[in-house]
Structure 1
Amino acid sequence: MAPITSRNGNLPAVPSLTPFVGRGVEMAEISARLDEVRLLTLTGVGGVGKTRLALETARAVHERYPDGVWLVDLAAVHEPTAVTTATATALGIPDHGGHNTLHRLAAHLTHHHALILLDNCEHLTDPCAELAHTLLHTAPHLRILTTTRHTLGIRGEHLYPVPPLPDDDAAELLRICAAETHGGHRLREAAPAAVARVCAHLDGLPLAIQLAAPRLRALTVEQLADRLADRLGTLDGGTRGVAPRRRTMTAAIEYSYELCDPAERLLWDRLSIFAGSFCLDAAEDVCSGEGIAPTEVLDLLDRLTAQSVILSCEMEGQPRYRMLETIRQYGRARLTGSGQEQRLLRRHRDYFLHLACRVADRWWGPGQVADLARLRADQRNLLIALSFEEDPQATLRLAAALRHHWCADGFLGEGRRCLERALAVAPERSPARAEALWVAGWVALLQGDVPAADTWLAEGAELARELRLPAVTAEVLGFQGLSATFKENWEEARDLHASALSAAALGDERTNILTGFRLAFVLVSLGDQQALGFGRRALALAETCGERWGRAHVLWMLGHAALVRGDHRAAVAYARAACWFQQGFNDTVGTALKLALLAWAGAAGGEYQRSARLLGAAWALRSSTSSSAFGPRSAEQHARCVERLRVALGTEGYAMAFAEGARLDSPARALAYALGAERYDATVPEPARRLLTRREQEVAVMVAQGLSDRKIAAALMLSPRTVESHVRKLLTKIEAGNRAQIAAWWAANQAPLR
């Protein structure tokens, strides 16, 4: 999943470098249909341009959707269960695991006027159909545009077959592509009939035209037409049962492949090992050797890019390359047939293992944000590497080395799944297993699963003693201390954290940033005057290292200490500083901590409206984790804050401000608001004023946000039984059959936020 996105969507900021010709009629028709229908499916043969047409139309209509236009690229998604996760990740909704991702996604979209583009659905028809059905029934203002070779087959789906380019547009596209590859003079010299013959052989398919055009550097149009004719005849005989246009696409790809020189073909095959996109150093490391020197890779990439086999792109601010899926699949089939696939998968795994270990080893330094951005850009490749089953111990090392990707950047659910699988297939008592056990314990604690964390940490402690691994012992003690903190066993937590600090003194002192902050927090809770000393030493160490993530946590702890001693101004200053350093991390748990502290301290200082919004944002971010996500002993602070806000704003005013804040549904947006970069205004919808009591309005807001009765009860200081009663009354008053219909009713009557 998860990337950091803008409120207005995630469409590529820079238009594709490949030309877009014609399609004016199609864009106008699709645009008009999106005004009339809620689910529109673009169908057509591979290579006809469904994706590009959908993207260009989405760009043209984006102003109609105040909550954004969102691209979900499913080309590299292979597991049906991953469709919902991929969609949530594209929308910037962190993956916390469990089975409630679809529910959280539906709740997130309930109020939204948005367009989702599900691209490349043909191999995932059933899960895409289920996703579309659920979202459209719970989000009344949502539109979904899909591209696929097969219809989804659900009620309410409307089809738009994408035709090949007409003759004139196909010829124009060929002319533009040829000019870009220095073959334009061939078109000027050619007879119109020869150009028409080339386009006819390519069936007007944009991808086929783009692949064939570079050959005009060496061939005349007539020669190209002749070769395409011969090639098609050969392929027709070997691929019976495949749609004719698919045979034409295969012919174009085959022809482009055979006209590459041997080194270009070899790199094409090897690059197919990557999923999604890749960077230059990955290509040089994974694909070099046995016929390709590392120094040759850049030149070969340039040549393949010039032939439209490889595309340049940018992800997370980094220049990268990618292959169209049909091109990649063709190369992968060649790689498999060569007998080299396993060797390349091994090199791919080794490269990403080395990358992950490098990030882990230098974590406590100035490159944290950039390193996590790199791992986010390679999320698909990381999952491919983790699925390579040749060496279970290497898989354990990789899963453990990715600990900050899992825990500091919003991939808790994926991390939990990968660690569980890796531990299950590698039961040997090894250092790699010991490392993976404490990382699994950390992930489980952040998910609120303390029993699972305790089990993994206990095994990790035993294994660390057996294998004499002092660094692992220090980590295990620290996270056992965190577990004791969550249980509010304060003396045990203090002793475990102190032991962790002593054990870590024999290794990397920088790891004491996190352990020192946790010990300081425990000492504050115990009223121990040493707390500030430990906190300030941890802060000084973080500043010396130049890192940001740990510094944000230490500043949060110092703010918490200030609030406990009644200095709300100092608490606000520390909380704002913590929010500043938290920027750039997609860390929902950490962000929720900072926002909650800023809300509590702000409310103590009279910033009522803003504090209520911050509290709503914090609850929205941590709604899929346990109540301990705000920190142990947070219930008392939270209760005082809520009561103060209710008195100052009134019950209705508090509920509305809380709901506004809950719309700040990503760490980036919430932190921007906390630091003064984003503003919101809203009012209670008039039908709700007339029909519902103030308390029922509060409950309706939170049901629409996807909160359970237990979490609503905690937020409003009610018993779960009382909340159940309010929900039953809501169902009766608005004639709804379930909670999703409450959310839909609220969205339909909610004034849009500005």
Structure 2
Amino acid sequence: MHRQRTDPPTPPSPPGKVSAAPEPPNRVKAMAPQTAPARQNLPVESDSLIGRDRDLSELLRLLESDTVLTLAGADGIGKSRLALRLATQATGLFADGVWLAALDDAATRAEVVTRVCGALGITEEARRDPVETLCDALRSRSLLLVLDGCDGVADHVAEIGAALVSACPAVSLLITGRAPLRITGESVWRVPPLPVPSDGDGAEPSGDGSVRLFLDRARTAVPDYASTPQEAAAVNRICRRLDGIPLAVELAAAWAGRVDPAGIDAGLAAALATADGGSEDGCPRTRVLDAVVGWSLSLLSQPERVLLRRLAIFPNWCLELAEQVCAEAPLVEADLLDLLSSLLDRSLITLTGEQLNRVRYRLPAPVRAHARARLADAGELAWMRARHTARMIAIADDLNRIALSGRPMPWAERFVYWDRAVAEYDNMRAALRWSAEAAHARDGLRLCAGLRPLWFTSHQFTEGGEWAEAFLAMDDDRPEEDGGRGAFDALRGRVMVQHAELNWPRKRFDEIVATVTAGAVLCRAAGDTESVCLAENQLALIDDLRGDHESARTRLRDVLELARSAGDLWSEAIALNVQGAMAARGGDFAEAETLFNTALMIMRGMDHRWGVGSTLMAQGAAAEAQGDAQAADRCYREAMDIQRANGSAPELASCLAGVGRVAQQLGSATQAYDYLAESLQLSHANGRLAGLAEALWSIASVSSRQGVAEEATRCAGAAAALAEISGWAGPASTRFPLSAELTEGAASTQSRTWWEEGRRLGVDEAVELGVRLAETGRLPRPRPRPARTPAPEPPRKALTPRESEIAQLIGKGRSNRTISDELYIAPATVARHVANINRKLGFNSRQQIAAWVDRHSHPT
């Protein structure tokens, strides 16, 4: 079904550009719109796309009408290049942009979901299946999701794709793979090879796509390449011999600077004649491509061939990583840059972009498969995997050591270790996978221990938890090495304690107690005070939640004594933070303030912004609970600046909600709604129901103080329902306070009806309600007229034709979603029109609009 999009899209940002971290907002302003999402994450195309103009035109038409479009074909046929160019040209068709998730190296369902969520900026919620979170986040968004390289995870992609198609009617999928996925409604485009010249040795270069591609690539090195009739005829033969396979043509053309057309033709003929007649997938074009790769490698120098096969170990890499892993005899580290440049000139490696001011590379999939086979033939596969894994363990160890170190260090310097782990995360996954396949428990556990800060702060609970469980289930693979059984048990205990921390947001307290207790025993025996402190902090929190406050206080006193004796500033600050939260829940706000301030002093001394931000959020919640709006505003605002700079979306949304709640108490309802609307939209974009619950509860709280009882009660009911699903417990309490706070004294049947109506709202409807309340709340309230002078009925002519149309549909009982479908406009546009109608007519609810429509339709 063709989807009409009426909202004009904003101009796309330049492909491949990553926005710099925004500056903290000016506190004089109500809100700076700094959380508006980008519109695409497509990489910059390195060269031209030739011979696909007609395909692009047809595919663009298909994208406008079909929800799922799969580009299928053999490796090297150009599926990914075509998909990226198509996505770039389709940006204007999708109001919420186009987004690429590369799945070439994914192996598990958790990896697929994590990559897709990462591409879209969606954050996992610990108590929900990430696919549910993904669907909730995209349900009302109009976007194109490009899933590139799905062959290794086709079943998982098919499951996730089917869920998106069912739940998200405005989301389109563009998929690449060797075969279709068989998703309902899937259209399949078999990507053909480029046209090749007809038989015969013509004297002129053919105008067919394959010849055009060959000459375009060749003439970047030799401007007059194939300028004679004999050379042109040889180029025609080359393209016929290569069957128009784009990657094969590019690999052959890359030798134009060193080999004439006749030499290339003769070399390819010999390679194809001696190539194995079979292939892994039974595809003749795969055999052709593999033969061309082999021919190209035969022309390389010995060091180039050695480097290329060793590079097959990486999903992607930078020069520094290649030097650290590959530079072993016969290769010399100082030569690697020149060797990489040479391989790049031969089209055997490609650029993928830049991270941390380092250029990153990758091997095209067919080249990587061939090079990996040569690596195995050389007997280097296991050796290279061990070197690669050792380097990843070193990076993970550095992250864990620096991220939570109590040593004073500039935050920018500390944060580099997070960034480095993110840049190498695909390589980390590869090392985890190899360690699991080989049952190398020690290596896997070291990787899990090192990646704990990244998994926790980026909310990757499912993937991190699955890896930890896999390696904890293994026995020691090297009992006689690396410190023997004692060292293995110490490592195992550490990961057990950290794994329980990943489970904490899921609130599986019985599992946490069992795992932490067992892990702490191993850590005590090994003298691992840091892990013991982490374990006791978790157990103290659980004791406090279960009402055993004395046990909790005892545990925390022991943690403080142990941390101080070991000089562990991080564990000391965390223990103080936990004590402060417990004191606040018990109503001892003076004690909580002292404890929070002491924890902040330690965190600021270390310049640990993540720790400072977390402590400030807890301190702000405590100040808000005791009614100190000024202190709460100060804490929330500083924490908001930190979380915005760190890119921590869930924490930022919570800070925005806190600033919004206290803004009204400080005399600015308009500013309150500005911050609350940003919090609501950010949580909706990230798919986090806990964030939506907090934002909706906050909007309901502010609205109820303005006297908007009906819509505020509905909003509170919606927040309560979302809180039950997500586990959000309120900003300053372990109990969810909505019902008591927002319905106190409203025991009427009507109030209960409004509450239940809110509970029954879907996620998008609840968000629309929150947006509407925020928009109308910013507007000045109409002054009540004297009772003896009845207010005149608002004139119908005050509304625009579109607003009148929407008002009539509201009068017929239509929801915003139904109106959106009937009028072919976005739900957000309907919500804006409804807000305008309320403003112009002086109303604050849909019921008033409906009653007004009814009076005009049936005048007395």
Q: Assess same fold via TM > 0.5.
A: yes
Distance 1:406 1:265, change over 3 A: same
Distance 1:425 1:620, change over 3 A: farther
> Counterpart in 2 of 1:470?
529
Q: CA deviation at 1:638?
A: 9.4
> Counterpart in 2 of 1:554?
615
Q: Which amino acid aligns with 1:518?
A: V
2:389 paired with 1:343: no
Q: Which amino acid aligns with 1:423?
A: L
> Counterpart in 1 of 2:703?
645
> Counterpart in 1 of 2:399?
359
SS in 2 for 1:321: strand
Q: CA deviation at 1:30?
A: 0.6
TM-score normalised to the size of structure 1? 0.82
> Counterpart in 2 of 1:497?
556
1:663-691: CA deviation from partner (whole Å, max 9, x where unpaired): 9xxxxxxxxxxxxxxxxxxxxxxxxxxxx
1:29-57: CA deviation from partner (whole Å, max 9, x where unpaired): 11111112211121222211111111111
SS in 2 for 1:78: coil
Q: CA deviation at 1:563?
A: 1.6
In the alignment, structure 1 segments of 5+ residues that lack a partner are: 664-692, 708-732
Q: CA deviation at 1:301?
A: 1.6
Q: CA deviation at 1:450?
A: 2.1
> Counterpart in 2 of 1:187?
226
Does the 8 A contact of 2:104 with 2:151 survive in 1?
Answer: no
2:687 & 2:551 partners in 1: Cα distance?
28
2:329 & 2:233 partners in 1: Cα distance?
45
1:230 & 1:704 partners in 2: Cα distance?
63
Does the 8 A contact of 2:661 with 2:702 survive in 1?
Answer: no
Does the 8 A contact of 2:596 with 2:619 survive in 1?
Answer: yes
Distance 1:608 1:6, change over 3 A: closer
Q: How does 1:433-472 map to 2 (within 5 A)?
A: 433-472=492-531
Q: CA deviation at 1:651?
A: 4.1
2:579 paired with 1:516: no
Larger radius of gyration: 2
SS in 2 for 1:147: strand
**Which residue of 137, 147, 150 maps to 1:121?**
150
Q: Which segment drifts farther, 186-195 or 448-457? A: 186-195
SS in 2 for 1:320: strand
2:351 paired with 1:312: yes
Does the 8 A contact of 2:215 with 2:225 survive in 1?
Answer: no
Q: Which runs of 4+ in 1 moved over 6 A?
A: 3-6, 621-625, 637-641, 653-660, 733-736, 740-749
Q: Which amino acid aligns with 2:116?
A: T
SS in 2 for 1:17: coil
> Counterpart in 1 of 2:828?
751
Does the 8 A contact of 2:150 with 2:177 survive in 1?
Answer: yes
Q: Which amino acid aligns with 1:78?
A: A
RMSD of Structure 2 on Structure 1 (CA):
3.7
1:746 & 1:76 partners in 2: Cα distance?
43
Q: CA deviation at 1:742?
A: 14
1:705 & 1:351 partners in 2: Cα distance?
49
2:606 paired with 1:545: yes
Q: CA deviation at 1:584?
A: 5.0
2:517 & 2:820 partners in 1: Cα distance?
43
1:597 & 1:478 partners in 2: Cα distance?
26
Distance 1:409 1:84, change over 3 A: closer
2:307 & 2:818 partners in 1: Cα distance?
53
Distance 1:244 1:497, change over 3 A: same
1:535-554: CA deviation from partner (whole Å, max 9, x where unpaired): 22332333332331111112
2:36 & 2:310 partners in 1: Cα distance?
34
Distance 1:706 1:196, change over 3 A: farther
SS in 2 for 1:399: helix
Does the 8 A contact of 1:95 with 1:414 survive in 2?
Answer: no
Q: How does 1:625-636 map to 2 (within 5 A)?
A: none
SS in 2 for 1:282: helix
TM-score normalised to the size of structure 2? 0.72
2:235 & 2:709 partners in 1: Cα distance?
74
> Counterpart in 1 of 2:745?
none
**Which residue of 644, 660, 671 maps to 1:583?**
644
Q: CA deviation at 1:533?
A: 3.1
Q: CA deviation at 1:102?
A: 1.9
Q: Which amino acid aligns with 1:378?
A: E
2:447 paired with 1:398: yes
Distance 1:480 1:705, change over 3 A: farther
2:674 paired with 1:610: yes
Q: Which amino acid aligns with 1:613?
A: A
Does the 8 A contact of 1:406 with 1:412 survive in 2?
Answer: yes
SS in 1 for 2:142: coil
2:819 & 2:356 partners in 1: Cα distance?
40
Distance 1:591 1:643, change over 3 A: closer
Distance 1:10 1:374, change over 3 A: farther
Does the 8 A contact of 1:269 with 1:331 survive in 2?
Answer: yes
Q: Which amino acid aligns with 1:502?
A: E
1:517 & 1:166 partners in 2: Cα distance?
68
Distance 1:734 1:287, change over 3 A: farther
2:166 paired with 1:137: yes
2:192 paired with 1:153: no
SS in 1 for 2:366: helix
Q: Which amino acid aligns with 1:35?
A: E
1:563 & 1:274 partners in 2: Cα distance?
50
Distance 1:595 1:441, change over 3 A: farther
2:430 paired with 1:384: yes
Q: How does 1:246-325 map to 2 (within 5 A)?
A: 246-275=286-315, 277-314=316-353, 316-318=355-357, 319-325=359-365
1:84-107: CA deviation from partner (whole Å, max 9, x where unpaired): 343223222224467722222222
Q: How does 1:654-693 map to 2 (within 5 A)?
A: none
**Which residue of 370, 387, 392 maps to 2:416?**
370
Does the 8 A contact of 1:69 with 1:115 survive in 2?
Answer: yes
Q: Which amino acid aligns with 2:828?
A: A
Does the 8 A contact of 1:598 with 1:611 survive in 2?
Answer: yes
SS in 2 for 1:140: coil
> Counterpart in 2 of 1:225?
265
Q: Which of 1 and 2 has higher RCO (CA within 8 Å, sep 6+)?
A: 1
1:234 & 1:96 partners in 2: Cα distance?
55
1:742 & 1:324 partners in 2: Cα distance?
48
SS in 2 for 1:216: coil
1:609-643: CA deviation from partner (whole Å, max 9, x where unpaired): 33543664686599879x7x99xxx99x9978744
Q: CA deviation at 1:746?
A: 14
1:507-548: CA deviation from partner (whole Å, max 9, x where unpaired): 332443333322222233331534333322332333332331
In the alignment, structure 2 segments of 5+ residues that lack a partner are: 1-17, 20-34, 197-206, 477-484, 723-752, 768-811, 833-860
Q: Which segment drifts farther, 82-91 or 67-76? A: 82-91
Does the 8 A contact of 2:516 with 2:535 survive in 1?
Answer: yes
1:544 & 1:240 partners in 2: Cα distance?
59
2:58 paired with 1:58: no
Distance 1:586 1:421, change over 3 A: farther
SS in 2 for 1:215: coil
1:81 & 1:746 partners in 2: Cα distance?
39
> Counterpart in 1 of 2:662?
601
Does the 8 A contact of 1:138 with 1:744 survive in 2?
Answer: no
Q: Which segment drifts farther, 695-704 or 524-533? A: 695-704
1:152-171: CA deviation from partner (whole Å, max 9, x where unpaired): 22332212222222342322
Distance 1:215 1:380, change over 3 A: same
Distance 1:212 1:615, change over 3 A: closer
SS in 1 for 2:134: helix
